Structure 1
Amino acid sequence: MSNPLDYTVGWICTIPTEYVAAQAFLDEKHEGPEYISPNDNNDYTLGKIGRHNVVIAVLPNGEYGLSSAASVARDMLHSFPNVRIGLMVGIGGGAPSLKYDIRLGDVVVGVSINGTGGVIQYDFGKAIQGQEFQETGFLDQPPTLLRTAVGGLMAQYELYRSQVVHPSDNEANCAVLCGDNPDDLIERPARDEDNDDDPAIHYGLIASSNTVMRDASIRDEMAKKGVLCFETEAAGLMNHFPCLVIRGICDYSDSHTDEKWQGYAAMTAAAYTKDLLHRVTPNRVEAETKIGDILSGNSQP
């Protein structure tokens, strides 16, 4: 069995698809922990990426949202008290704009905008067409070494116009129900031929809420404010698990959503995360303060 004290990188997933993707990118898979904290309900996979020992956890099946993510993070820190850097990796809905040509399978990394955190909690209620979001707070910044590693790594699917809404009571395929009328679609040029199959990496603001974004009009308004991606868990970690949030784009945050891109998007996000960890040396991770100590006010490494 594995010693929980040996693990310094905590990786949280939301759904089983993300959990499978995370495990696929482990260089080594370890035995389960020899001990976990009482009342810890998480399922863990332990392993190694590069020279880092990584603990991966997933939210309970069928649960999502801010409180569920916070609970998983809290239990992880109790059972693996030496975790020093946090990662939340999985899927999200894209917010394409003229500035950011975000497409399915691309990756969005939540990074600071104007000195704020890379994730904003934008709403506590429902996302209803025609209503404004109330922006309420930013996720704490991830450790400097992760932001430094992100800096080191910075070196054709149909997108419907906002006014074209997929009927909420009909789950038929968009190609059949919504059609392919050019007047209803946003035409975007093909990417460079040499890189057409390679996901693009985007860096900027991720919007988080308890509700899934399915409104193209609100999506477009938030995109004007710099939002690149929507998801439903990261803001719940604001006071529980300072982390870097990485999302693979599986839909366009509108009513034309299905699940067929989730697996691919989860894999691209996990692949980016593995690449990121390879840029971080173990001694720098060890020099970081334990996340549990940060939250308790003890700043000693």
Structure 2
Amino acid sequence: MVGDSNSYSVIYTLHEVDVCRYRSNIPNLLAYVLQIYRFLVIISMTSPNAPSLVGKNILIAGSILESTDGALARRARDFVKALAAEVIHHGGRLVVYLGGEPVDSNGDGLTFDWLIAREVDALCPGEQIAPRLIVVTSERNRREKMTEEHRKLIAQLTMRNVCDIVPLHDATVTGGNIGDAQVDVADAMFAVGGGKGVLDRARKLAKLNIPTLASDIEVGGYSNDGEGAIGLHRQFMNDPTSLMMFTGPAAVKRVLALSLQEPVQSAKDIAAASVALIGAELVAKQDAARTDVLVLTALAVELTAAKTAFSIAPEASPRRTESGINYWRSQQRRADGTIVTCDVASFGNAGNVNAASMTSTLISELGPTLVLMVGIAAGMRDKCKLGQVVIAERVVGYEGMAVVQGGKEEARPEQYPLNPRVRQDITAYLSAPMQVKERLDNAWKLHELTMPEDVEAGPVTDTSLPELSTIASGEQLLRDTARFAQLRELHGKIEVVEMEAVGVHAACHHNSVPALVIRGISDFGDSTKDGRFHALASNAAALVAIDLIKSGLGA
């Protein structure tokens, strides 16, 4: 259990076992076992299996007063470097403000931002598929306050895609605006030294329930204008939930062991334990969040693709609804900085009846504001390509019919158009094809998704861009091109067929929740198959789904 997200929730809700209190009335052996268990719990929180920070932006705020004792200043810098390394090691991104770099008489920085930038540069020497550093800066800062060495470092980090620039307008570069820009992207903050600026950032983050963990090291602050991290540390010790709402009361019991002022362990170990504390808080915060988007799949290959796209570890333990349905939770940051909570679940098999039933149950238990069905489908050979992704602008249930006078059967297809709000989101999304394609191409590269060439089963897509399509849905697993073609008699725009969309849409319609279906084309509804496209098309569809959500779908 140690290392997965659920284990950290358990660890931080366990009451501390005070062995000494019970030593007089339990066998010494049991007391010793309890002590060993307590030690292992602590060790597990500082192990390499600490909670994942993938997708999380971590701000390390603070500075050092120039007159600070040299040994303390070196200890603070060593800790910041170790903290940066821990964040990067666990998949997180670091947030810095880069302008001028004040230094002491030895040429050592009095703020930590450039120290962090250099550490990330060393930790990520090659080209990165995804940025590991978020840099808040302005053009005036770059021209007037940075040295040639600074500008060259930023250029190299940008060239290797190590950093992502958050530009500030020259006219708005003030302490408050810099702090606001950092707060807008941060998921958590560590504070070391500093003054008023550190306090201001922590208070703004606290209003958003974003955690801060402050060090007790007494290094003052570059501007010498307030207590900074020392004041926050005192606040946390007296009112732990003010800075860590969910796990503060448990975390405060560990903070004294993480002292930098009077350390009892190395800076590296303190950094690892500090990241574990913040990681546990982020897990607990995620657990407490309401569901924004429910992401549904039918088959195992589709579930695997969805978990991968939503940065859910393969070994992550699922949560379980009251009715016993497994689901996995992920939080994603939208382009506007808001956090969206996504729950990923699977029906376990194909079919509209099962899809309708499970969708209704999950809507009732999780209460999402949007339901997204993601997976594979068959496309018409002359209309689609293998690996292509389609977004359903309309779902047609092709099996509905009526038996009229004389025993004649008349088709009565059900139709579900897009919810008007969802249609607006999709229209806005597809109106910027170059930007969408660039993001999706990068996602394909990140996930090593490559479509094969010279495939005997049929033509293969040459683009990551999705297209709108009308999807037919029923209980039949089609392997007959003639039957596929007949579906167009029900609706002339049908190009894709699958087995769950009507059930999902029907359940969502009855529960007044918008629904959207995204499918990757894995075959052409005939006997010619290429098994590789089950995974390839599933992954392509899942990457479109996550990109849509991050771009504002359902906001």
| Structure-1-length-normalised TM-score | 0.67
Unaligned runs of 5+ in 1: 112-117, 126-131, 161-187, 286-301
- 1:95-130 Cα shifts (integer Å, max 9, x gaps): 133xx4x1100011101xxxxxx10000269xxxxx
Listed one character per residue, the Cα deviations across residues 173-223 of structure 1 (whole Å, up to 9, x for unaligned) are: xxxxxxxxxxxxxxx7xx9xxxx7434522120000011121111223435
Q: Could you tell me which of 314, 325, 338 is aligned with 1:42?
A: 325
Question: What's the offset of the Cα at 1:240?
Answer: 1.0
**Alignment match, 2:373:** 88
Whether the 8 Å contact between 2:457 and 2:529 is mirrored in structure 1 is no
SS of aligned partner of 1:68: helix
- Say if 2:419 is the partner of 1:137: no
Q: CA deviation at 1:258?
A: 4.9
Indicate if the aligned counterparts of 2:396 and 2:472 stay in contact, CA closer than 8 A: yes
Q: In structure 2, which of residues 438, 443, 468 is the aligned counterpart of residue 203 of structure 1?
A: 468
Take 1:31 and 1:5, find their aligned partners in 2: how far apart are those partners? 18
Q: Match of 2:426?
A: 150
Structure 2 residue aligned with 1:24: 308
1:256 aligns with 2:533: no
Larger relative helix fraction: 2
Pick the structure with greater CA Rg: 2
Q: What letter matches 2:542 in structure 1?
A: A
Change (3 A) 1:199 1:252: farther
Kept in 2, the 8 Å contact 1:219–1:253? The answer is: yes
Letter in 1 for 2:524: Y
What do the CA deviations read for 1:2-29 (whole angstroms, capped 9, x no partner)? 5465211111101011111111111467
| SS in structure 2 of the partner of residue 238 of structure 1 | helix
Q: Which residue of 2 aligns with 1:271?
A: 543
Partner residue, 2:27: none
- In the alignment, does 2:504 pair up with 1:237? yes
Asked if the contact 2:289–2:341 (Cα under 8 Å) also holds between the matched residues in 1, the reply is no
The CA RMSD over aligned residues, in Å, is 2.8
8 Å Cα contact 1:27-1:49 kept in structure 2: no
State the Cα deviation string for residues 232-272 of structure 1 (Å, max 9, x = none). Answer: 01111233124100000000011223533100000000011
Instruction: Tell me if the contact between 2:312 and 2:328 (Cα under 8 Å) persists in the aligned partners.
Output: no
* Amino acid paired to 2:429: L
Counterpart code for 2:297: C
Pairing of 1:111-122 with structure 2 (within 5 A): 111=393, 118-122=394-398
Q: TM-score with structure 2 length normalisation?
A: 0.38
Checking the alignment, whether the CA contact within 8 Å between 2:390 and 2:519 is kept in structure 1 is: yes
Partner in structure 2 of residue 8 of structure 1: 292
8 A contact 2:376–2:538 mirrored in 1: yes
Return the alpha-carbon distance in structure 2 between the equivalents of residues 212 and 18 of structure 1.
17
Higher relative contact order at CA 8 Å, sep ≥6: structure 1 or structure 2? 1
The number of residue pairs the alignment matches comes to 228
CA distance 1:152–1:84, shift in 2 (3 Å): same
Q: How does 1:119-130 map to 2 (within 5 A)?
A: 119-123=395-399
Verify the 8 A CA contact 1:107 1:246 in the aligned structure 2: yes
* % identical aligned pairs: 23
SS at match of 2:398: strand
